[in-house]
Every structure is written in C-alpha cells, then in structure tokens.
Amino acid sequence: MTDAEELRRRTRELLADRPPATTDRLDFLRARFDAGLAWVHFPEGLGGLAAPRSLQAVVDAELEAAGAPDNDPRRIGIGLGMAAPTILQYGTEEQKRRFLRPLWTGEEVWCQLFSEPGAGSDLAALGTRAVREGEDWVVNGQKVWTSSAHLARWAILIARTDPDVPKHRGITYFVCDMTDPGVEVRPLRQITGEAEFNEVFLTDVRIPDSRRLGEIGDGWRVAQTTLNNERVAIGGMRLPREGGMIGPVSRTWRERPGLRTHDLHQRLLKLWVEAEVARLTGERLRQQLVAGQPGPEGAGMKLAFARLNQEISGLEVELRGAEGLLYDDWTMRRPELVDFTGRDAGYRYLRSKGNSIEGGTSEVLLNIVAERVLGLPAEPRTDKDVAWKDLAR
C-alpha cells in the first residue's frame, strides 16, 4: 500500500531528477507517468501506483508548489475522463500499454464517436455499421457533436455489429484511428456562430479487430463505463457565491445603474436567490461525496444549472437594452476551450441553450429522476425485444 509519505518522497525524487525549470515539458510529463505519479490510482506500469485515488491531491500539491508543468487536462478531457477509464477496464494489456501513456501526456488527443443524427437521447438505436472482413472491421456511418475530432489522433467509437438482435445487444466498442483516409471531419457550426463540435463521416474505415474494446456485442455495457465516468466528472466542483452565470449580470447591475428598472430588479433578485440555492445544493452534494455518502442529488444539478443559465443569460441580454440588440462576433471559429460564462451576454444566452440538451436532455433527466430516485413506473418500452433492423425510424 502506497501512503502519502511514500508518494511525497517519490514526487520529490522526480522533481530532483527532472527539475521543471530545466526540463522539456513533454520529457517531464513522460517521466512523471513512468514514475507512477500521473494518476496514482492506476496500476503500476500504467502511470499509477495502485494507490487510493484521494492521494492524487498529495502529488498534485507537491508538483504545483514546484512549478511543474501539467498535462493541460481541459484540452484532453475526453481522453482522461472517458477513454482512459474504459481502456483500463476493458482493454487488453497491449492496448493499455499502447494508448494510456500518450493519452495522459496529451501527445495524442482523443475524441468520442457516440451520438448520431438519428440517435441522440436514444443512443442505443445508433446505426453506424461495422462489418467484419477478415481481421478487420469495416465501418460506415455518421457521428455528430464530436468535440476535438479535428485535433484527435484516436476516437472511442460504438457501432452496430449485429442488426438482427435488439438494439442494446448488437453494439461493439472500438478504438478508431482518426487518421484513416475514410474519416472525414467537418466543423458543425452552431447558433453562436462558432463550431465547438464536428460531424464525423466514416466511409469504409478499416479498424483491425485488435482495436476492439471488450467482447463483440458487449459495446453497450462497455459504453456505460465511459458514460458513468462522464457523470463523475460533472458535479463536485466548489463554487464561491456569484461564481456561475449570475456573476456577470450582478456586476453589470452594480456598474450600470442607468440600466436598472423595477421589473428587472425583481427578476434579478429571484434568479440571484435561485442561483445561490443551487450553489448551496452543489456544495451539499460535494460535502456528501467527501463524507462518502453520495446522494442522488447529482441528477438534479444539471437540470437546475441548465435552466438557471438560460434564464439568467436571457435576463442579462434584456438588461443591456439597446446593447442587447447587438452581438459581439459571428465569425466562424473553432475554439479549443469553451467557457459558458465567457464572452458577451448574447453569446452566453445562445450557448446556454445547449445546456439542456448536451449530456442528456432535461426531459430525459426528469424521467431518470422520476424512475431512479422516486421509483415511479418506467416509460412503456416497445423497443426492448425488437431486432434493431425492425425498429421504427
């Protein structure tokens, strides 16, 4: 068992061996991975030391104090948060050795090929086909809402390998090479004017069977690991008062007395209270997690923040009056990082419309709360025992 003292010692050893000030960034990150200090809860040899996950903070604090470079986690969130845990759980030894190190160092960016134009909330109905040809799979189909696809070296992909069984059973999980000539990435321009996401067209893409993750037909189960880790990554953040979308509008209110009206004042105060209460709910959830008593409240947090972000940013556009009629910039761009509270009120208003769609629509989340938290009867399922090829579409 590796304890905090041991981790501190190893971290100092790494720092002595590769002083951050005189070491190339990538060299340092590779050495950190090889020393087992990348993600300490991963196994030895794969960037970790099989230590408790909570001890990562010890390593991070030592490294930060020494001014060591990090792996820019916001840029490689899909790799770290979704691909890595899935590869760790379902990958072969060879796959783990090949993929995890450059994934963690950021040398290889990952993206996720899950959603399709015809499979959003009903992801399991996806229609991208993978057909076996010798030692390869040949993949055809279209994926959508893929962030980082234009930067990515690899993708986690789910595709249909058996259309003759019910939809959840005919899916297989692959690692797709984004440099394959059959992969075409097109930016998907959204209502804000920019393109955070892409459409990905797959035409006769060849994936060797050695890049399959998990068993044939078991892809839905493997994908649950990916999606559960996505949910772990949401929540657990610590916000100060006025830390979210309510911050900018409150500052505008204070700085611009000329914009104030009685009607807006009442609405602002109501939203301020709701934002503060939602912040407290998030803080309570965080305290529950720290105390080892995770509650079902997390399911509600996304619902609350989606609605609040939309209402607050809508109010701010209105508060700005004549300026609210303007927009900062419609130029088509491909931002690498997205900040929901960044840019102007108009941008925030438009971007927040996605908050009740991305990562589970609010309507689906309400079903989940009603069924899994309150125990109400599930929606009638007419698709459970029907072969995928016979589903209505």
Partner 1 sequence: MSTTSTQPDLLYSEEEEALRAAVRDLLADHCDPADVITRIESDAPHGSAAWKALAEGMGLAGLLVPEAKGGQGASHREAAVVCEELGRAVAPVPFLTSAVVATEALLACGTDDLLADLASGRLIGALAVGLDTAPGAAFTTVRLEDGLLHGELTGIADAAVADVLLVPADDGGLYAVDGDAVTVTPQASLDLTRPLATVTLAGAPGRRLGEAGPAVRRALRAGAGLLASEQLGLADWSLTETVRYLKERKQFNRPVGGFQALKHRLAQLWLEVVNLRAAARGAADALATGEDADVSVAVAQAYAGQVAVHAAEEALQLHGGIGMTWEHPVHLYLKRAKADSIAYGTAGAHRETLACLVDLQAP
Binding residues vs partner 1 (CB under 8 A): 238, 240-242, 250, 253-254, 257, 260-262, 265-266, 268-270, 272-274, 276-278, 280-281, 283-284, 287-288, 291, 293, 297, 300, 303-304, 363, 366-367, 369-371, 373-380
Shortest Cβ distance from residue 273 to partner 1 (Å)?
4
Which one of 6, 184, 230, 283 is the catalytic residue? 230
What phi and psi, each to the nearest 5 degrees, are found at residue 142? -135, 135
Q: Bridge partners of 184?
A: 201
DSSP code at position 387: B
Return the half-sphere exposure (C-beta side, CA atoms, 13 A cut-off) of residue 323. Answer: 14
d(CA 381, CA 384): 6
Shortest Cβ distance from residue 315 to partner 1 (Å)?
12
In sequence order, which residues have a C-beta less than 8 Å from that of residue 14 and are 6 or more positions away?
A: 31, 32, 35, 37
| Closer residue to partner 1 in complex, CB, 50/369 | 369
Q: Bridge partners of 111?
A: 155
| Closer residue to partner 1 in complex, CB, 179/262 | 262
Shortest Cβ distance from residue 299 to partner 1 (Å)?
9
28 touches 12 (CB < 8 A)? no
DSSP code at position 166: B
Query: In terms of C-beta density within 10 A (0-12 exposed, 13-18 middle, 19 or more buried), how is residue 255 classed?
Result: exposed
Shortest Cβ distance from residue 382 to partner 1 (Å)?
14
Task: Give, in degrees to the nearest 5, the angle at Cα 3 between 34 and 232.
Answer: 75
Shortest Cβ distance from residue 372 to partner 1 (Å)?
10
| Closer residue to partner 1 in complex, CB, 9/284 | 284
| Closer residue to partner 1 in complex, CB, 21/254 | 254
154-160 and 136-147 strand pairing: unpaired
d(CA 267, CA 285): 27
| 48 to 51, 55, 69, 93, 219: CA distances (angstroms) | 7, 11, 18, 15, 26
| Closer residue to partner 1 in complex, CB, 78/365 | 365
d(CA 63, CA 11): 7
| Closer residue to partner 1 in complex, CB, 267/334 | 267
Among 176, 215, 183, 222, residue whose Cα is nearest residue 199: 183
Shortest Cβ distance from residue 339 to partner 1 (Å)?
21
Among 51, 38, 59, residue whose Cα is nearest residue 2: 51
In sequence order, which residues have a C-beta less than 8 Å from that of residue 334 and are 6 or more positions away?
A: 150, 187, 194, 195, 196
Shortest Cβ distance from residue 293 to partner 1 (Å)?
8
64-73 per-residue burial string, b: 16 or more CB within 10 A, e: under 16:
eeeebeebee
| Closer residue to partner 1 in complex, CB, 134/258 | 258
| Closer residue to partner 1 in complex, CB, 286/334 | 286
In sequence order, which residues have a C-beta less than 8 Å from that of residue 8 and are 6 or more positions away?
A: 58, 62
Shortest Cβ distance from residue 370 to partner 1 (Å)?
4
State which amino acid sits at residue 346: G
323 touches 268 (CB < 8 A)? no
| 230 carries an active-site annotation | yes
Catalytic residue set: 230
